[in-house]
């Protein structure tokens, strides 16, 4: 799979987002899905807790979004805002120019990290 194909897969995943945490909204506590094959969530507000989609799913942290928690875990994770915690992506992770991550980024599939993305922590490929 080349970079263009990977990017197209990510776009399809982002189009599937149906759940939102709106800007100027604060959620305290963990968000967890039991079956997230087609689940997608966009965070434009603040989540103080972990986000876990054990199977499938997409998490999009928008430009005004902030997640402060132990972990964000899903198949696809796209970060434009701020994350304080570990990111675990099973298929693809994208770190945009506006993102700021304090913590580990662990991925199994593809990774796209813009040169202006800020990561204070480790980035580790965990695939075979």
**pLDDT tens digits, one per residue of 73-125:** 999 999 999 999 999 999 999 999 999 999 999 999 899 999 999 999 999 99
Domain that holds residue 47: 3-125
pLDDT of residue 15: 73
Strands, E, within the chain: which ranges? 19-21, 26-28, 31-32, 40-43, 46-48, 51-52, 58-61, 66-79, 82-95, 100-102, 105-107, 110-113, 118-120, 123-125
When divided into structural domains, the chain yields a total of: 1
**pLDDT tens digits, one per residue of 25-74:** 999 999 998 765 678 899 999 999 999 998 888 999 999 999 999 999 99
């Amino acid at each position: 799979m080349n970079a263009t194909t990977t990017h197209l897969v990510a776009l399809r995943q982002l189009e599937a987002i149906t759940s939102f945490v709106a800007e100027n909204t604060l959620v305290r506590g963990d968000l967890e899905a039991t079956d997230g094959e087609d689940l997608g969530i966009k965070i434009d507000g603040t989540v103080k807790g972990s986000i876990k989609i054990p199977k499938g799913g997409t998490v999009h942290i928008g430009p005004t979004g902030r997640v402060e928690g132990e972990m964000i875990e899903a198949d696809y994770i796209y970060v434009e805002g701020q994350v304080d915690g570990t990111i675990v992506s099973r298929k693809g992770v994208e770190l945009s120019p506006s993102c700021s991550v304090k913590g580990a980024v662990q991925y199994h599939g593809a990774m796209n990290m813009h040169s202006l993305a800020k990561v204070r922590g480790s980035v580790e490929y965990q695939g075979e």
